[in-house]
Amino acid sequence: MKIILLKNVPSLGHKGDVREVKPGYGLNFLIPQKLAQIADKDLIRQAQQQKEIAQIRQKKQERQLNKSAEKLKNLKITIKAKTNEKGKLFGAVSASEIAQTLKKDLGLEISEKNIKIEKPIKEIGQWTVEADLGRKVMAKIKVEVAAD
């Protein structure tokens, strides 16, 4: 029996996929749970068109993310922090401070959860951190920490 998935189903497929399943599984579980519907020629054609549109959108979004990553690669942000006489910070520069600076200075909204700092930034100088922009696109951001 051919079905079209209406939602993602683990170990079966993603929304919009056309699958061949046993009649009992389709009629007794998938269709009553509104996870799938019986496929006919028109519905299969619609599902394929929607999948193509989704792929085009995804490629466009990936191109935009790659452009943003290139933009970030060439930019440097500056964070001012309080230091002692030896140039050590009283605290550490956090991912949230970097995210706030990116939003304030460049207008880019990157979640602090997506900013990866290898080791705590506790000194003045230049550092490189990574930001996960989504869809497996990573951007390196140059962060300069200056004395306040």
- Per residue in 111-140, pLDDT tens? 889 899 988 888 888 999 998 888 788 888
Same domain, 10 and 70: no
pLDDT at 107: 81
pTM, whole model, 2 decimals? 0.63
pLDDT at 111: 87
Same domain, 49 and 95: no
Same domain, 60 and 96: no
pLDDT at 34: 95
Would you place residue 21 in the very low, low, confident or very high pLDDT band (cuts 50, 70, 90)?
A: very high
Whose tokens are 């299969």? That residue is 44
25 has a pLDDT exceeding 90: yes
Q: CA 123, CA 112: separation in Å to the nearest integer?
A: 20
pLDDT at 36: 95
Helix ranges (H only) for the chain are: 23-25, 41-73, 95-101
Q: Which residue from 31, 108, 119, 24 is spatially nearest to 70, judged by alpha carbons?
A: 108
Same domain, 17 and 57: yes
- Per residue in 60-113, pLDDT tens? 998 888 888 888 888 889 998 888 888 788 888 899 999 999 888 888 888 889
pLDDT at 23: 95
pLDDT at 22: 96
Total structural domains within the chain = 2
Same domain, 58 and 83: no
Describe the chain by its helix, strand, coil percentages, rounded to 5.
40, 35, 30
pLDDT at 108: 82
Same domain, 75 and 52: no
Q: Which domain holds residue 117?
A: 66-147
29 has a pLDDT exceeding 90: yes
Q: Find the CATH number of the domain harbouring 25.
A: 3.40.5.10
Answer whether 141's CB lies under 8 Å from 131's CB.
yes
Same domain, 74 and 143: yes
Q: Find the CATH number of the domain harbouring 132.
A: 3.10.430.100
Same domain, 81 and 134: yes
Last residue of a domain, one of 23, 45, 65: 65
Would you place residue 13 in the very low, low, confident or very high pLDDT band (cuts 50, 70, 90)?
A: very high
Where b means 16+ CB within 10 Å and e means fewer, 8-38 reads ebeeebebbebbebeeeebeeebbeeebbee
* Positive/negative CA dihedral, 93, 95, 96, 100: positive
Same domain, 139 and 118: yes
